[in-house]
Structure 1
Amino acid sequence: MGRSGVVSRRFPFAFDRRFIPPLALMGVLPQTASVSVDVNGLAVRFGPWRMLTPTENVIEARRTGPYRWWRVVGMHVSAADRGISFGTSTASGVCLRFEEPVSGVIARFLSHPAMTVTVEDPDALIDALGTPTRPAA
């Protein structure tokens, strides 16, 4: 359903078995990692990290991947554009671009214009946000 009729949905992260031990050391487990979309907005929980923004702030959602493990597994901030990645798998995910950069994930002074999440069902997350599905570039 689109933005006007947001239905509460929870999207678990897709955990690649190879990365469970190092992710667990960071506090990232299947029960502590998910993306939720509801009337309050888009909420990401990734172990100790949290991100919240209104769904209207998401201006693009596109399926991406596969990834190189060192670029996505764990929590990463891009030095090039300050985009943030929350990754548990190298297979695929969703890149979300924001109209207004979202701050407060790591520090209040650092804002993120985009975010990548490796959820189990990327297309369902894109659909829940009401943004067009676009193929990976």
Structure 2
Amino acid sequence: MTRFPFAFSPAYRAASLPFGVLPGTAWAEVEDDELRCRFGIWRLCTPLSNIASAQRSGGFSFVKAAGPARLSLADRGVTFATNGDDAVCLRFHEPVKAIDPTGLLRHPGATLTVADPDAFLAAVGMA
């Protein structure tokens, strides 16, 4: 199992704190054939075979990304952001649950601000 911590900028860390998103509660793990993410109270879990594509991204607006897990109204993607500068955007073959614990709302993609995006991309087989 390889754990990838999230990279916190000071402003995002302050905005995330009220939602329980801390260095100890924000990470992505890759083990065998599965990706597991935790972002405070939110979770995402999917087989690695469900990842259709992955790429680096960044330049997020603080207002649109900081704080709790975020839902994109444009494409229903989920964002787990702890900085606005550097992230990995994943696209899934089959949408996954993350924000809604009932699973009725599913996400076709996820953005994760892991501290080492290149190593994370290699671990999920998308380098």
| Range into which the TM-score falls when normalised by the shorter chain | over 0.9
Q: Which amino acid aligns with 2:108?
A: P
Paired letter, 2:96: V
SS in 2 for 1:18: helix
The ranges of structure 1 where at least 4 consecutive aligned residues each deviate by more than 4 angstroms after the TM superposition are: none
Which residue of structure 2 aligns with residue 93 of structure 1?
87
Structure 2 gaps of 5+ residues are none
Q: What TM-score, normalized to structure 2?
A: 0.93
Report the aligned-residue RMSD: 1.2
User: Which position in structure 2 is the counterpart of 1:115?
Assistant: 110
User: Which residue does 1:39 correspond to in 2?
Assistant: 32
Find out whether 1:9 has 2:5 as its counterpart. Answer: no
TM-score, length basis structure 1: 0.86
Indicate the structure (1 or 2) with the bigger Cα radius of gyration: 1
For 2:40, the aligned partner's letter is: G
Deviation at 1:21, TM superposition (A): 2.1
Contact kept, 8 Å, 2:30 with 2:123, in 1: the verdict is: yes
Aligned residues: 125
Question: Residue type matched to 1:103 in 2?
Answer: K
User: Which runs of 5 or more structure 1 residues have no equivalent in the other structure?
Assistant: 1-7, 133-137
The alignment-based identity, stated in percent, is 42
Q: Which amino acid aligns with 2:90?
A: L
User: 2:98, 2:27 → 1: CA distance?
Assistant: 18
Question: Deviation at 1:71?
Answer: 2.3
